[in-house]
């Protein structure tokens, strides 16, 4: 199998274990390209990738842009400035416009859950979900999975803690689904207002006490706290949140010596994590960013159903790509 | 003169279920008995294989006029209702402008005269539907209003709800509650639970409905008013209403066909076509609604027919409006889900669309016996229909039931002795 037998990558739920592992294996190959002087391959030559971001994003969009360029794709950006108040063209009209442009891939980020699913049902292009509402962020979960597999061969049997605002996190949902599919034990930790009981349907444990949990964890995945959640009384103050759930230097000392510390970024230093922990050798936060590009290259490649990787020539000249 | 022959007459008011013929003279039922012979010049409708019912009553429809005539009008909605077996409907007042004065109540009745069926307006419970002051109920009743509600919105103010229940006592009309605590609903768009968690969609807890029903039955006990709870969707709500009825509180309630047919599992598949308020709940709630209907805690089935254009519905789930159409799928869902799958008798199923709403609204309708208006619906319960674009006559096709094959075909609808629908 050297391709994903599917049009779209919308969520982790619909991926099989084999597909997840295939993406990770291919990502390893693409990461090796980064050590070459010419960091691109002609996998997507002549194909057009369109990024359609309805929500501001810096790192995810940059990562997709870079992945597409390193695969020699033609890249266009459809940036949409929307607020919840002012909505311009309706999504279905945008979809019709994009369909008429005969694109090959659409990378979509949207504040509304299920928007990429709606898009995919109405367009022939491959749709890659770059994050929808609180629902799913499959490429983040795949890069998190790959990053852990780089450090430990097997995810099965690892105890992974996801700490923070689970309720409003698409990263958490996709991570949970990926880690559980690969056989990890997952514990969610945060205040009950941010870790609803309904999450137990994923077969995870729930804890409200980080101090009791820490010493058991092989992986600690910290989520970004949205400061505006405090206004909805999800927690009383950032100070109290930090006291209860931050990975402080003191707590870090109680962790296993080979613990892996992760964060999808951007990090609120001093809220979720202390500076010194972030900069320790157990933190792979920087490596996650590098891996993100490799994983997204692998996803483009596998959705294209392209030739075996061994036969891939190095890209020499991309100057005439725009024709 | 007209005779309906060879049918199985179902009259829930008298618990009749028998092979009888019906003779109609002018606009009234003249005779219901065995083997009525046709006289010269009589028109005969052969109802072989069909059930013959009092004309159905839907006490909860949104015909969008005035304001959104592009999605439905009183005339177009009335035609859809006739085709769906309904001879009487009540229009809800959340139009633009809202129905909060006599002129608009009269406007609806005037528009309704162009159509084939009876239309009774329900007016707002508060002036401007703002939830601040009670509307001029006496004036509105004189103009033809039959009940009061701010439907689409709850009466959030407890003191306003108390006053409305208290003041309306002198008219003995129901205050119809859209039971929802908007604060608990937050910005939710589907039932809060496993599915909302999986889909990452903001949830509306069933407690948002239940706390308001609890408040309203307590205020009804306090005031001695008459409360009718619209679109009951949760098992907890059925339980609160059961206890209120046992305590002798004057409360009645309705549910809609989608609450006994679907669960929130449908949202992932049908996206915005399965988005309505209150939202589809769990299988446990669905079963509780079926049992509530079976044992009579739920008095009425009403469709909450809520047309929205495809333009509006074909949006991101979070931005699409709440509501689905319901008139045309009502009879097929009742036959398929209640009668066939849950063993309801025709009498038990159809009392919810005939005698029960008639009693709540004090209509002299909903019965099939001599002297009553000749509002009659003839249904073939064994004939299948497919809910597709051709089947749907409504100006809007926002329904999660599209593509489904269901039992129960409306063959004829008579209103006031006129044949207002005959299936082609």
* Residues of B with Cβ-Cβ distance to A133 under 8 angstroms: 200-201, 318
Residue with tokens 């002051």: B133
pLDDT band at A4 (very low <50, low <70, confident <90, very high): confident
Q: Considering only A78-87, A253-262, B99-108, B155-164, which range has the smallest mean pLDDT?
A: A78-87
* A118 contacts B271? CB cut-off 8 A: yes
Reported as a single tens digit per residue, the pLDDT across B11-57 is 999 999 999 999 999 999 999 999 999 999 999 999 999 999 999 99
Rg (CA), chain A: 20
pLDDT of B88:
98
pLDDT of A153:
87
Q: Is B314 an interface residue toward A (CB < 8 Å)?
A: yes
Question: Is B226 part of a structural domain of the chain?
Answer: yes
* A110 contacts B316? CB cut-off 8 A: yes
Rounded to 5°, angle at Cα A230 from A224 and A236: 110
Same domain, B229 and B118: yes
Question: Is B266 part of a structural domain of the chain?
Answer: yes
pLDDT band at A323 (very low <50, low <70, confident <90, very high): very low
Same domain, B153 and B301: yes
Residue with tokens 């037998």: A5
pLDDT of A316:
53
Task: State the Cα–Cα distance between residues B412 and B424, nearest whole angstrom.
Answer: 10
Same domain, B340 and B417: no
**A177 touches A158 (CB < 8 A):** no
Give the gap in angstroms from C-alpha A12 to the nearest C-alpha of chain B.
Answer: 11
For residue A90, give the nearest of B192, B316, B351 by alpha carbon.
Answer: B316
Same domain, B268 and B147: yes
* B197 contacts A201? CB cut-off 8 A: yes
DSSP secondary structure string for all residues of B124-179: -SBGGGSSSSB--HHHHHHHT---B--TTS----HHHHHHHHHHGGGTT-PEEE--
Same domain, B345 and B410: no
Please tell me whether the interface predicted TM-score (ipTM) of this complex is above 0.90. Answer: no
* A87 contacts B200? CB cut-off 8 A: no
pLDDT of A317:
47
pLDDT surpasses 90 at B335: yes
How far from each other are the two terminal CA atoms of chain A, in whole angstroms? 32
Q: Considering only A50-59, B28-37, B168-177, which range has the smallest mean pLDDT?
A: A50-59
pLDDT band at A322 (very low <50, low <70, confident <90, very high): very low
Reported as a single tens digit per residue, the pLDDT across B276-311 is 999 999 999 999 999 999 999 999 999 999 999 998
Reported as a single tens digit per residue, the pLDDT across A238-280 is 999 999 999 999 999 999 999 999 999 899 999 999 999 999 9
pLDDT surpasses 90 at A232: no
Residue of A nearest to B201 (CA): A113
Q: Is A203 an interface residue toward B (CB < 8 Å)?
A: no
- Mean pLDDT, to the nearest integer, of A202-207? 98
pLDDT surpasses 70 at A131: yes
Half-sphere exposure of A271 (CA within 13 A, CB side): 15
Question: Is B142 part of a structural domain of the chain?
Answer: yes
Last residue in a domain, options B361, B383, B405 = B361
Same domain, B197 and B220: yes
Same domain, B282 and B391: no
Q: H-type helices in B11-92, by residue range? A: 74-83
Widest CA span of chain B, in angstroms?
A: 68
Complete domains list, chain A, with CATH = 17-137+288-311 (3.40.50.1370), 138-287 (3.40.50.1370)
Question: Is B279 part of a structural domain of the chain?
Answer: yes
Looking at the structure of chain B, the number of domains it has is 2
Mean pLDDT of chain A: 91
User: Which CATH number is B302's domain given?
Assistant: 3.20.20.140
pTM of the model: 0.92
**B296 touches B367 (CB < 8 A):** no
Question: Is B366 part of a structural domain of the chain?
Answer: no
Q: Which residues contact B252 (CB under 8 A, 6 or more apart)?
A: B174, B226, B227, B228, B229, B299, B300, B356, B360
Mean pLDDT of chain B: 97
Same domain, B333 and B415: no
Question: Is B367 part of a structural domain of the chain?
Answer: no
Reported as a single tens digit per residue, the pLDDT across B209-228 is 999 999 999 999 999 999 99
pLDDT surpasses 50 at A225: yes
- Mean pLDDT, to the nearest integer, of A113-125? 94
* B271 contacts A90? CB cut-off 8 A: no
Helix (H) or strand (E) holding A144: helix A138-151
Q: Is A13 an interface residue toward B (CB < 8 Å)?
A: yes
Last residue in a domain, options B312, B338, B361 = B361
- Mean pLDDT, to the nearest integer, of A50-59? 90
**Which structural domain range is residue B21 located in?**
2-51+372-422
DSSP secondary structure string for all residues of B255-313: E-HHHHH--TTHHHHHGGGG--SSPP--HHHHHHHHHHHHTTSS-EE---B----HHHH
User: Which CATH number is B398's domain given?
Assistant: 2.30.40.10
* Residues of A with Cβ-Cβ distance to B193 under 8 angstroms: 198
- Mean pLDDT, to the nearest integer, of A287-303? 96
Same domain, B356 and B245: yes
Same domain, B200 and B333: yes
Q: Is A176 an interface residue toward B (CB < 8 Å)?
A: no
CA dihedral in degrees (A271, A274, A275, A277; nearest 10)? -140
pLDDT surpasses 80 at B390: yes
pLDDT of A81:
66
Residue with tokens 């065995």: B34
**A96 touches A118 (CB < 8 A):** no
Residue of B nearest to A85 (CA): B319
* B316 contacts A115? CB cut-off 8 A: yes
Among A91, A170, A201, beta carbon nearest to B200: A170
Among B200, B271, B314, beta carbon nearest to A133: B200
Half-sphere exposure of B277 (CA within 13 A, CB side): 23
Q: Which residues contact B370 (CB under 8 A, 6 or more apart)?
A: B28, B29, B30, B31, B32
Task: State the Cα–Cα distance between residues B389 and B394, nearest whole angstrom.
Answer: 10
Reported as a single tens digit per residue, the pLDDT across B87-111 is 999 999 999 999 999 999 999 999 9
Same domain, B38 and B119: no
Same domain, B379 and B279: no
Among A114, A196, A199, beta carbon nearest to B317: A114
Question: Is B105 part of a structural domain of the chain?
Answer: yes
Among B197, B316, B317, beta carbon nearest to A198: B197
Is B42 considered catalytic here? no
* B197 contacts A199? CB cut-off 8 A: yes
pLDDT band at A56 (very low <50, low <70, confident <90, very high): confident
Catalytic residue among B216, B264, B285, B304: B304
pLDDT of A227:
80
Question: Is B44 part of a structural domain of the chain?
Answer: yes
**B75 touches B86 (CB < 8 A):** no
- Mean pLDDT, to the nearest integer, of A90-105? 90
């Amino acid at each position: 199998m050297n391709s994903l037998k599917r049009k779209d990558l919308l969520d982790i739920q619909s991926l099989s274990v084999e597909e997840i592992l295939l993406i990770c294996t291919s990502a390893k190959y693409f990461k090796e390209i980064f050590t070459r002087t010419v960091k691109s391959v002609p996998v997507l030559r002549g194909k057009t990738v369109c990024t359609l971001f309805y929500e501001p994003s810096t790192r995810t969009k940059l990562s997709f842009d870079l992945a597409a360029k390193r695969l020699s794709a033609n890249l266009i950006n459809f940036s949409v400035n929307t607020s919840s108040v002012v909505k311009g063209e309706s999504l279905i009209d945008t979809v019709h416009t994009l369909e008429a442009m005969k694109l090959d891939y659409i990378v979509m980020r949207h504040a509304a859950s299920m928007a990429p699913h709606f898009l995919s049902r109405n367009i022939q292009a491959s749709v890659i979900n770059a994050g929808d509402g609180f629902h799913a962020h499959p490429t983040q979960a795949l890069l998190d999975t790959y990053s852990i597999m780089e450090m430990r061969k097997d995810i099965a049997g690892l105890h992974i803690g996801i700490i923070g605002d689970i309720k409003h996190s698409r990263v958490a949902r996709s991570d949970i689904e990926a880690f559980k599919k690969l056989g990890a034990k997952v514990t969610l930790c945060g205040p009950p207002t941010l870790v609803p009981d309904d999450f137990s349907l994923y077969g995870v444990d729930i804890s409200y006490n980080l101090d009791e949990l820490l010493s058991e964890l092989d992986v600690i995945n910290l989520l970004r706290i949205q400061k505006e959640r405090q206004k909805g009384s999800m927690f009383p103050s950032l100070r109290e949140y930090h006291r209860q759930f931050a990975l402080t230097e003191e707590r870090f000392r109680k962790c296993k010596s080979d613990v892996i510390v992760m964060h999808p970024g951007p990090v609120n230093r001093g809220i979720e994590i202390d500076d010194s922990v972030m900069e320790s050798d157990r933190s792979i936060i920087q490596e996650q960013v590098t891996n993100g590009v490799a994983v997204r290259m692998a996803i483009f490649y596998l959705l294209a159903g392209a030739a075996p990787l061994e036969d891939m020539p190095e890209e020499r000249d991309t100057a005439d790509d725009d024709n | 003169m007209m005779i309906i022959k060879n049918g199985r007459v179902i009259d829930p008011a008298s618990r009749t279920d028998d092979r009888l013929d019906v003779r109609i003279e002018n606009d009234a039922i003249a005779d219901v008995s065995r083997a009525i012979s046709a006289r010269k010049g009589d028109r005969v409708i052969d109802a072989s294989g069909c059930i013959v019912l009092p004309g159905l009553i839907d006490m909860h429809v949104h015909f969008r006029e005035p304001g959104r005539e592009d999605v439905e009008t009183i005339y177009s909605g009335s035609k859809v209702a006739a085709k769906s077996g309904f001879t009487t409907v009540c229009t809800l007042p959340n139009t633009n402008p809202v129905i909060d004065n006599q002129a608009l109540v009269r406007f609806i009745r005037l528009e309704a005269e162009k159509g084939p069926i009876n239309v009774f307006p329900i007016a707002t419970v508060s002036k401007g539907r703002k939830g601040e002051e009670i509307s001029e109920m006496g004036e509105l009743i004189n103009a033809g209003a039959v009940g009061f509600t701010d439907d689409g919105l709850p009466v959030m103010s407890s003191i306003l709800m108390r006053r409305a229940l208290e003041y309306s006592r002198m008219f003995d009309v129901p205050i119809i509650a859209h039971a929802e605590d908007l604060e608990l609903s937050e910005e939710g768009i589907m039932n809060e639970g496993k599915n909302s968690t999986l889909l990452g969609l903001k949830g509306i807890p069933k407690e948002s409905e239940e706390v308001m029903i609890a408040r309203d039955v307590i205020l009804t006990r306090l005031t001695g008013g008459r409360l009718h709870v619209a679109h009951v969707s949760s098992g907890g709500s059925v339980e609160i209403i059961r206890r209120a009825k046992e305590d002798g509180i004057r409360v009645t309630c309705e549910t809609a066909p989608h609450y006994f047919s679907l669960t929130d599992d449908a949202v992932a598949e049908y996206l915005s076509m399965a988005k309505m308020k209150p939202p589809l709940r769990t299988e446990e709630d669905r079963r509780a609604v079926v049992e509530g209907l079976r044992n009579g805690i739920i008095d009425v089935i009403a469709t909450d027919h809520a047309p929205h254009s495809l333009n509006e519905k074909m949006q991101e789930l979070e931005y699409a409006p709440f509501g689905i159409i319901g008139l045309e799928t009502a009879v097929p869902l009742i036959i398929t889900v209640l009668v066939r799958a849950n063993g309801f008798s025709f009498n038990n199923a159809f009392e919810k669309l005939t005698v029960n709403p008639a009693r709540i609204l004090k209509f002299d309708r909903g019965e099939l016996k001599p002297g009553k208006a000749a509002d009659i619906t003839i249904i073939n319960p064994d004939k299948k229909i497919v809910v597709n674009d051709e089947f749907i006559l409504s100006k809007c096709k926002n329904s999660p039931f599209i593509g489904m094959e269901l039992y129960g075909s409306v063959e004829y609808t008579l209103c006031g002795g006129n044949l207002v629908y005959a299936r082609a």
